[in-house]
Amino acid sequence: MDHVIQAVAENVRSLRLARGMSLNELAATSNIGKATLSRIEQADANPTVETLYALADALGVPFGSLTATTGPQVEHIRAQDLATVTGSLHAKVLTQAAGAKLVEALDIFFPAGQVRHSNPHPKGVVEHILLTEGRLRAGPTGGERDIDAGDVLRFPGDVPHSYAALDDKPARAIALMAY
């Protein structure tokens, strides 16, 4: 959870500064106290989902922009490490497709014992694989990762890549293709 608090702190501060907003202005726009905002930006607070939605609305960004971390080109996020915030509901940011003009969602079944080699998609395509069943080896050729149900794998789709169900069992995933 500490990585989520740190990500929120960094994102709120950088988004606020990018918009030229003072703490007072963000406090007024979001209806969140200045002292609370200061603690959030210093990673000294554990904001509720309601607080994060208020901040996202005030900053004009999607909710997930506050919990997102920047990572390597290929990012494997284990299910237990996904950013979760609570309040009157529990929200888990699975992945983001920033800057995309089109995002396709696909339900993909991977039969046991088969490897699917994929040619590069158009320049700039990013794949987001949320494994819902089984185990899967996927990613750019030579840099594949083994992922478990609930994990998310995000990687550039504009390079050769592959998918293979593991353990002689099929796998299933939701794939978001961000063009």
Sequence spans of domains, the chain:
2-70, 103-178
CATH of domain 2-70: 1.10.260.40
Task: Quick: pLDDT tens for 96-109.
Answer: 676 667 787 888 89
Q: For residue 117, what are the CA distances in angstroms to 37, 96, 141, 172, 179?
A: 48, 24, 9, 17, 20
> Which residues have CB under 8 Å from 70's CB, separation 6+?
none
CA distance 51 to 29: 12
What is this structure's pTM? 0.61
Task: Quick: pLDDT tens for 50-77.
Answer: 898 889 889 988 777 888 776 556 778 8
Is the domain defined by 103-178 classed in CATH 2.40.50.140? no
